[in-house]
Structure 1
Amino acid sequence: MRTRDLPVFPLVPNPVRPDVNPDVAPVRHEFEAVGSPDGPRIALVTLGCDKNTVDSERIMASLVGHGARVSSDIQGAEILIVNTCGFIQDAKEQSVETILDACDLKARGHLNAVVAVGCLVQRYKTELEHEIPEVDLFMGLTELQGLVPELRRRGFLPATQSIPTMEQPLRILSTETPHTSYLKISEGCDHTCAFCAIPLMRGLHRSEPVENLVREAAGLGVQGVKEINVISQDTTWYGRDRKRLDPSAPLLPDLLRALLIGTDVPWFRLFYMYPSGITSELIELIANEDRILPYLDMPIQHGADRMLRLMRRPERQVTIRRRVEQLRQTIPELTLRTTVILGFPGETDDDFAEMLDFLAEIRFERVGAFAYSMEEGTRAAEMEGHVPIELVNERMGELMDVQREISFEKNAELVGQRSMVLVDEVLEEDGDFDALARTIGQALDVDGVTNLCNAADVQSGNMIEVEIVDCLDYDLIGKVI
């Protein structure tokens, strides 16, 4: 369905990531239609990360509140809104492909209008407007509050509001597991990591007020959410922007206490926690509050000090080691997840070996590894010593072999223990297992799962106790007690 190839943003030679395969479908969420059956039919396609998911759910709530019928199904839609991603090269190209596909549908009379919003538009709006004039409206992240008024002005939405403002939900859940959702507590990032283009798209760090977040989280609880994943670019940085102006401004521990008081949601899971920002107060809070799960997503990005300096990361081996020791001493049942980047410019065999040794020493329960992606406008894009993709893939395989063994050993330690799990999916009959669930130590989509047997009567969203009876490299097998 592509109409043409367009270099709609500055492209640079990329020796690490191969060109995106045009046959690969963009990552997107499928959800049932919501809103007035008689309203204008709007399809919303969400590309990219969990933060984009939150943005789309807010857009959905606003559109439905103004009389629209919103779904992820393009078939029969009058308007298509694409929430774009611009994080890495593949994501940019998939976003452009999706926009071009939408324009092709419009040209053939299947759509009345195409709207593009989100990260890619925030960074490349001028180029996109010039290269794809068929798009009716481009809006970046900082302009999203004006989306509904602009659609109304153009006649795409009714002139009157169908749901009173006070009765509108802040978000309408759009994932296949509505018992799990995300709470984006801030926008943007103050860090200057050499590889990252996020500040170029989302700007500097801006914390959402505590009262707004408590209201949003409480609303998610009313919709049946059992697990809230607390997210941002650096979750530990919450409140520091406001603290500069007001010494009494709340920080992350204060926000978490407010969420515990103001909601009934049983599980809060913390993501994107910079090691340097994890304080003793926060560690004690996690240790003492059952509803804040003993699980931390703590990206370190590399394990060699030389590479951490080149990446402009604030941590070093000694500080990471010290933080992990403090966490595990205070929270013995803690699950630690981290992410690392392979093939950053200048990474040598010695650097990679040092990282492997460090990961083997720390023994994170979960490790995600990603190939470096050159991003235009970042410091790393100007560096020399880019690593060939073949070598990156070789290192990736070696790293995952090391982590697979660690993961299996960690899982084996859980066999025979009892654990509370959250059921994500009931499986078809006649299979080996009845359902898929997750323990406190397993986050949705990024970690393994717990396969349940003796669970014929469970439903998605149930929280039940199981005994871990066996394990695989990354997954567990549990029996309902």
Structure 2
Amino acid sequence: MENRKKVAFYTLGCKLNFSETSTIARNFNDEGFDRVDFEEIADIYVINTCSVTENADKQFKQVVRKAMKLNEKAFVAAVGCYAQLKPEELAAVDGVDLVLGATEKFKITDYIHDLSKNDMGEVHSCEIAEADFYVGSYSIGDRTRAFLKVQDGCDYKCTYCTIPLARGISRSDALENVLKNAKEISAQNIREIVLTGVNIGDYGKGEFGNKKHEHTFLDLVQALDKVEGIERLRISSIEPNLLKNETIEFVSKSRTFVPHFHIPLQSGSNDILKLMKRRYLREVYTDRVSKIREVMPHACIGVDVIVGFPGETDEHFLETYHFLNELDISYLHVFTYSERDNTEAVDMEGVVPSNVRAKRSKMLRGLSVKKRRAFYESQLGTNRTVLFESENKEGYIHGFTENYVKVKTPWNPELVNTLQEINLTKIDEDGSVRLEFLNKLAEV
């Protein structure tokens, strides 16, 4: 057993990447490798890359350096979106031995029979049109919730985005396979499953990009709600034009789906939405928020927004700011626009200076703090269910309620990965919420 090679993983980017890293890790396990933490000495380091922001590109080089410090003879492989978009660039990074594109990443164990270091990274990539097949994935064993991939790729042509170039056309897992994976996850005593993909509201397009929808996203949600053993299901980011009223109504009455939606807006200005080639105007967004509030007043609603897009004037930005300020939402994920090669936006006029982008980002981050605080205050005094996580942070255990309020209570290992009925009592200095247990047995 001492001859077993060790492999470590580092994931940059989104929940979808986490689900795929976990699946790749299981493949290594099947091939006789032992998985170790990235901070440990390993024979192979696999880095799952992201291309959404400029920062992710810089992070990649830092992660490679970290691996080389741990073991300068280790074999370093890069997979993921950045590996598909700029394989030669990654291959040139000192220490990188192998770069695998979109069609190759799940076959990584086929490429690592020789673990000797290369002078230059070896590249196996494809034309993205070849990425027309689907590989199901889910994360397990990494945390108290699992990320279940249901869809991949995107047919949208947003002018700032490289994801269609990195992941290919929209395609979905078969409903039977999603349900099989969900049952496998629930059998591992995992309490919460987060549905993930590139554009999950587009669920149903066939394995080979077949435009005929075998099932809709609503069919998927309804089927998953019936799977025994799953206690919580959470929908990750979903486009406003694809989040239908029927789905919102179903979630409001669901056995397992929680009242939490994350809906990308990107801009509160219709002029900018058109430049971005988004498939809705802000009025549609207002309708979705109103519908959620009508049937789930206590729901948490998160928003993605981009600042500094080419052509965004001060007036456009203020339009976005005031729109979000007046909207009954719970928090923001703020992205500062960064130029990406091979996108339409990179050639657009009206480039916003970086200092202005930074100022706008800061303003919206401040608004997000205000929105989250107001949402948490609205939940004080209510009874909720919390899923506790596994980390001891400075003597406290944290968790999230079904409607995504972050709570804390003094560390108690017996609470890890349990669902507890609680009452939300007060907001702490760090922004999380203190609680009282409704079930006194939980205070053992």
Q: Please, what TM-score do these two structures have when normalized by structure 1? A: 0.80
Please state if 1:213 is matched with 2:178: yes
Q: How does 1:97-112 map to 2 (within 5 A)?
A: 97-99=62-64, 102=67, 108=72, 110-111=73-74
What value does the CA root-mean-square deviation take over the aligned residues? 2.7
Counterparts of 1:138 and 1:456 in 2: how far apart (Å)? 43
| Structure 1 pair 415–92 and aligned structure 2 pair: CA distance change class (3 A) | same
| Structure 1 pair 91–404 and aligned structure 2 pair: CA distance change class (3 A) | closer
Q: How does 1:19-98 map to 2 (within 5 A)?
A: 38-73=3-38, 75-98=40-63
2:320 match: secondary structure: helix
Please state if 1:151 is matched with 2:112: yes
| Structure 1 pair 85–72 and aligned structure 2 pair: CA distance change class (3 A) | farther
Match of 1:173 in 2: 140
Q: Please, what TM-score do these two structures have when normalized by structure 2? A: 0.86
One-letter identity of the residue aligned with 2:418: N
1:282 match: secondary structure: helix
Match of 2:401 among 431, 439, 455: 439
Displacement of 1:40 in angstroms is 1.6
After superposition, the C-alpha distances for 1:76-134 in whole angstroms (9 at most, x for unaligned) are 3222222222222121122134345656777x5x32x33222222211224444x3586
| Structure 1 pair 392–215 and aligned structure 2 pair: CA distance change class (3 A) | same
Match of 1:471 in 2: 427
Please state if 1:141 is matched with 2:102: yes
Contiguous gaps of at least 5 residues in structure 2: 117-135, 439-444
* Contact preservation (8 Å) 1:54, 1:183: yes
1:450 match: secondary structure: strand
Counterparts of 1:257 and 1:54 in 2: how far apart (Å)? 22
* Contact preservation (8 Å) 2:289, 2:328: no
Counterparts of 1:364 and 1:332 in 2: how far apart (Å)? 11
2:47 match: secondary structure: strand
Counterparts of 1:134 and 1:477 in 2: how far apart (Å)? 46
Counterparts of 2:67 and 2:41 in 1: how far apart (Å)? 13
Displacement of 1:379 in angstroms is 1.0
Q: Report percent identity of matched pairs.
A: 26
| Structure 1 pair 313–64 and aligned structure 2 pair: CA distance change class (3 A) | same
Match of 2:359 among 375, 391, 394: 394
* Contact preservation (8 Å) 1:421, 1:437: yes
Displacement of 1:246 in angstroms is 7.8
Contiguous gaps of at least 5 residues in structure 1: 1-35, 157-168, 443-447
One-letter identity of the residue aligned with 1:80: Y
One-letter identity of the residue aligned with 1:115: A
* Greater RCO, CA 8 A, separation 6+: 1
Displacement of 1:468 in angstroms is 1.0
Please state if 1:234 is matched with 2:199: yes
Counterparts of 2:37 and 2:261 in 1: how far apart (Å)? 32
2:361 match: secondary structure: helix
One-letter identity of the residue aligned with 1:342: V
One-letter identity of the residue aligned with 1:392: R
| Structure 1 pair 401–66 and aligned structure 2 pair: CA distance change class (3 A) | closer
Length, aligned pairs only:
418
Displacement of 1:141 in angstroms is 2.1
Match of 1:480 in 2: 437
Please state if 1:285 is matched with 2:250: yes
| Structure 1 pair 365–220 and aligned structure 2 pair: CA distance change class (3 A) | same
| Structure 1 pair 272–125 and aligned structure 2 pair: CA distance change class (3 A) | same
Which range is displaced more, 202-211 or 91-100?
Answer: 91-100
Match of 2:408 in 1: 451
Displacement of 1:243 in angstroms is 11
Displacement of 1:390 in angstroms is 2.1
| Structure 1 pair 399–46 and aligned structure 2 pair: CA distance change class (3 A) | closer
Counterparts of 1:428 and 1:96 in 2: how far apart (Å)? 29
One-letter identity of the residue aligned with 2:101: G
